[in-house]
Amino acid sequence: MVIAAGALCLLQAGVAHAQSALQLAPAEEWELGSGPESCWISRRFGAGDKGLFVRIETFGTRSSLRVFMRGKPLPQRDSGILDFQTQYNPNGTANERAGILNWSGNAPTLTFLEALTPMEGAGSTADPQGQTYSGLERTTRELKLTFSRGSPVSLQLGSMEASLDRLQECAHGLPAKWGFDADQQRALIQAATPIDGDRWIDPGSFPWEYLRSYQSVVLNLRLLVDDGGMPTDCIVQAPQFERAASEIACRTMMANARFEPALDAEGEPVASYYTTSIFYRTKRRNGNS
């Protein structure tokens, strides 16, 4: 589930389509990594000033993917919300996206959320764009990024089958790190299901210091949910350094979140977890979204 909070950003019309895309081939193989709260695959595309580093991270099989990119092919503009399109080919449809543009050293970075098309046994994945959404899947060979200004970028991914299988296998092992029986969680006939989840967060919860500094942030959270459907703890999965936003988000979620409890293979309520993303977003300093 993805929750958007704060000032709404209107998607820019007229995203450029006519320009030919900058084609970036892989410079290395996908590398799998993992930590206490997540698993990821990372890879570099292109070389030199035209190179782009890409990291695709999952916080559990029920979470959206967090995509991080760094490199000069990204738009060269002020930090803030960036509206653009993603298209996963072959046969993908263009999807409107909103991400956070920042700078690291002398290169821009882009962070945004995507969905992984569910695989058998992978559990449910939140669909951030509705029924027409076409997300990353095992048959994907290309990711095309189209911006309102500047050249489109085409990442020649090649086969994603093996790398996504490894990513999902790693994600299936995360519940064991969190103190759960991984086999039990994988066999659930019902995951912890939000009740009125769209009412948990409202624009009034936007941290004032972020509004004042025109700062946007995406938080990944994990709630522990008991067998009665009540949250018992809130863990910030990423980014942990956004203290003000993390504290407000967890406090709000713990006060408002309620669930239909998870059900094990026999249909009995069991303790489980719930992962979500909160997108605190505001306008750019110049007043544009």
Per DSSP, the residues of 83-111 read EEEEEEESS---EEEEEEEEEETTEEEEE
The predicted pLDDT at position 203 comes to 65
* Maximum average pLDDT range among 71-80, 168-177, 213-222: 168-177
Q: Indicate where the chain has its CATH 3.30.1150 domain(s).
A: 182-281
**Angstrom distance (rounded) from CA 178 to CA 232:** 14
pLDDT of res. 42: 98
Q: Which residue has the higher pLDDT, 43 or 207?
A: 43
- The per-residue pLDDT for 284 is 58
Residue 88 tokens read as 């996963």
Report pLDDT for 163: 95
Distance in angstroms (rounded) separating the CA atoms of residues 194 and 259: 5
87 confidence band (pLDDT: 50, 70, 90) = very high
Is residue 18 predicted with pLDDT exceeding 80?
Answer: no
State the pTM of this model.
Answer: 0.84
Work out the average pLDDT over 227-251.
Answer: 92
C-alpha neighbours within 13 Å on the C-beta side of residue 43: 20
Structure letter (DSSP) for residue 228: T
Is the confidence at residue 49, as pLDDT, over 60?
Answer: yes
pLDDT at res. 132: 40
pLDDT tens digits, one per residue of 109-136: 999 998 765 433 333 333 333 334 457 8
* The pLDDT value given to residue 126: 36
Q: Domain 182-281 maps to which CATH number in 3.90.930, 1.10.3470, 2.50.20, 3.30.1150?
A: 3.30.1150
pLDDT tens, 192-203?
Answer: 999 998 889 876
User: Which of 26-35, 99-108, 145-154, 205-214 shows the lowest mean pLDDT across its residues?
Assistant: 205-214
Question: How far, CA to CA in Å, does 163 sit from each of 47, 48, 166, 207, 223?
Answer: 22, 25, 5, 37, 28
Is residue 62 within 8 Å of residue 123, measured between CB atoms? yes
Does the pLDDT of residue 156 top 90, yes or no?
Answer: yes
Report whether 126 contacts 178 (CB < 8 A).
no
Mean pLDDT of 220-225: 96
Higher pLDDT, residue 210 or 60: 60
Q: Is the pLDDT of residue 142 over 90?
A: yes
Cross-strand pairs, 49: none
Pairwise CA distance, residues 50 & 20, whole Å = 15
75/227 Cα distance (integer angstroms): 47
Mean local confidence (pLDDT), 273-288: 74
pLDDT at residue number 16: 44
